[in-house]
Amino acid sequence: MAIIFDTERQTFKLDTPSSSYVFKVSPKGYLLHLYYGASVPDTDLDYLRLNLHSASFSANVASPEEKGMTLDTTWLEYPTNGISDFRVSALSIRGATGSSATDIRYKSHKIYAGKPGLPGLPATYVNSDDEADTLELTCVDELTGAQVVILYTVFTKLDVITRSVRVTNTSDKSFRIERIHSTAVDFNDSDFELLHLQGRWAKERTLVKRHLEFGLQGIHSKRGSSSHNNNPFVALARDGYTEESGEVYGFSLVYSSNFAAEIEVDCMRSTRVLLGINPEDFGWLLEPGETFTAPEVAMVYSNNGVGGMSRTYHKLYRHNLCRGEWKTKKRPILVNNWEGTYFNFDDDKLVAIAKDAADLGIEMFVMDDGWFGVRNNDDCSLGDWYVNESKLKGGLKSLVDRVNALGLKFGIWFEPEMISPNSDLYRAHPDWCLHVNGRERSIGRRQYVLDMSRADVRDNIFNQMYKILSSANIEYVKWDFNRNLTEVGSDLLPPERQSEVAHRYMLGVYELLERLLTAFPKLLLEGCSGGGGRFDPGMLYYSPQIWTSDDTDAMERLEIQYGTSIVYPPSTMSAHVSASPNHQTGRSSSFKTRGDVAMAGAFGYELDLTKLTDDERALVRQQVEAYHKYYNVIQDGDYYRLINPTEDKANITSAAAWESVSQDKNEILLTYVVMRTQVAISRYIRLRGLDPAKIYTDTASGRKYSGALLMNAGLNLTGGWKDGESRVWHFIAE
């Protein structure tokens, strides 16, 4: 098995194909972390432990066999609060005594093949039990009666270890969980760069790098979503790493709400990494017999740099997180009418766009915001999910039938979690939005947020959506979420449980998503949150593709898609060709370049096709043909980032390049985009991931190259480039 327990040494060893993770049980029952890194055959790693007193005030918690051990400097597998480890803790429980000191000790364990699910939460899964082994480690806090089960799953073919925690109250008194992180890892040094994905609306997931410093550092969200600003992911990259070399440790949280990644470098230069639910404004009252389950963290080890880490996450999330009908099924090319019409449309206008789409080879038409209630702008009708027949004069089924008759699938936009003050639903149920009695209700984008912690609210929205989706042949839903959570309170919970609302809200959203997909298992669901404000593994469990950003400008998308690819596979990144000049930036880009950039993800269009010129229509046909020709290598190939558009050292932020390599290394697709050209600047680009012994033919020119030549000497791209110009190379092995 991938997990062994050395009874003599009381040591657990977890092995992925290229990494080992080792910890032991001390004589007093503490879990002592020993090692996480490149594979080692040994189980006797106890000599690595740091046995130092940090100060005369440090408590000695050792047994006679462990003289001198103090938790203040010991590397701990799951550190808890208030028991002489003064670093940031993973778990804090306030018991009946009023104290938050939490002391868990090893009780038992079991090891088995396969991987369990997490009740009510998204999580990675295995397709057969031989893909993973699981360790359930049971610890107990005798005073509070908290039974803490730490779950580890080791994937046998990927360098992935997942972690989660569940706490059960085995006592006869309630207690409150005040802090619960899903994973904790201690490293014996601090020679790392911290990598994370920072952003804002229309500029999501820019890769940020900073060297670790003494003290506490990290990222978080308290917006009720994973957010545009930070993504629930961090990595530690060992000094000297590059895109394709060196050690990198990734930590990705499968959760869509408030999170925190906390990294502390202590006085001994040791580093602790924690990731889980944001402890700010969080608390969970656990009654006797109840269990709380924390979301999952997927940890990835790479000794092939950031790129190696990314490709592991891509495989994991594409094949062991995304589910259902569209997990690996070829996605249809779609056109969305939003930037083409905004709210100004009727059924005839939509059918006119659909006719052009059918003529051009596009496969799906998606009707965006404005089809329901009395909605002609964004100040009303959210929550009123009935058809606006003054716009769709023949009704929804008539429109869908007309679009289907053209040979196109039909999709529709919803924003199920929101409610407009100017809506029938709000007038009937003003208590159904998140609110704190006695406080003003904050408006965001002219809307409130429905209290998804309430079953009656979820039932109402589900029933409305079910009626719409059952009324016609609708095969796609774009699920939007356009504002952050404020005044996070619920009328149905007592004061002592108001700190649970944010997490209960997210559990409610997950439940609604699960119910919808159970009712409509063939539905293609696309996530959206003002663009990429909830682009996280939790949502990918339900929606295999997510709208990457509301900024559709090709030059901006280069950076956004580059950062997104650090964790998420191309198949999950919805990317569309939009109008020029771009509606967000005003920048003009060629139709070809817009297509080349969008082809790197789940491809589609976001414009009024009836306004295209003949030349542009010809380019659409070429792009549709290319999409089908290159689909497999883009969507399921190994992805290599060749030039970082935010850090192009050669030409000072002037270009971007990426490459997809088929799993058998027989097909290569290389894309190069010039953002800003310069005079008399040379450019050579070396490919990656090829078979050096194979001969590759450039399908456009017929020229042949060895894989070794393309990787070691590269292609000469010097000269003749214009701003915004792009090119795609396609190579096939003989």
Which residue reads 């609060």 in tokens?
81
Nearest to 633 by CA among 657, 665, 661, 671: 661
Q: Which of 141, 266, 550, 596 is catalytic?
A: 550
- Please, what is the angle between helix 614-636 and helix 591-598, to 10°? 20
> For the range 623-631, what are the long-range contacts, defined as Cβ-Cβ under 8 Å and sequence gap of 24 or more?
623/577, 623/595, 623/599, 624/333, 624/360, 624/361, 624/362, 625/361, 626/595, 626/599, 626/728, 627/333, 627/599, 627/603, 630/599, 630/660, 630/669, 630/730, 631/330
Alpha-carbon gap, residue 578 to 580, rounded angstroms: 7
The SS3 call for residue 558 is: helix
Alpha-carbon gap, residue 343 to 340, rounded angstroms: 9
Q: How do beta strands 476-479 and 409-414 pair?
A: parallel
Which residue reads 């716009």 in tokens?
391
- In the annotation, is 456 catalytic? no
Decide: 310 and 160 in contact? Cβ < 8 Å: no
* 3-state DSSP of 587-627: CCCCHHHHHHHHCCCEEEEECCHHHCCHHHHHHHHHHHHHH
Q: Which of 85, 266, 480, 553 is catalytic?
A: 480
Which residues are paired to 99 by β-bridges? Answer: none
Peptide bond between residue 581 and the one before it cis (omega within 30 degrees of 0)? yes
- Please, what is the angle between helix 554-564 and helix 591-598, to 10°? 10
Alpha-carbon gap, residue 415 to 529, rounded angstroms: 9
Strands, DSSP E only, in 16-87? 19-25, 31-38
Half-sphere exposure at residue 649, Cβ-oriented, CA atoms within 13 angstroms: 2
- CA 49 to chain centroid, in Å, comes to 34
Residue 584, amino acid? Q
Nearest to 433 by CA among 412, 460, 414, 413: 460
Q: Left, alpha or beta for 645 (phi > 0: left; psi -120 to 50: alpha)? A: alpha
Decide: 492 and 453 in contact? Cβ < 8 Å: yes
Q: Is 721 exposed, middle or buried (0-12, 13-18, 19+ CB in 10 A)?
A: buried
- In the annotation, is 480 catalytic? yes
Q: What angle do CA 700, 650, 246 make, to 5 degrees?
A: 95
The SS3 call for residue 131 is: helix
Cβ neighbours for 174, distance < 8 A, ≥ 6 positions apart: 96, 285, 286, 287, 288
Residue 153, amino acid? T
Active site residues: 480, 550
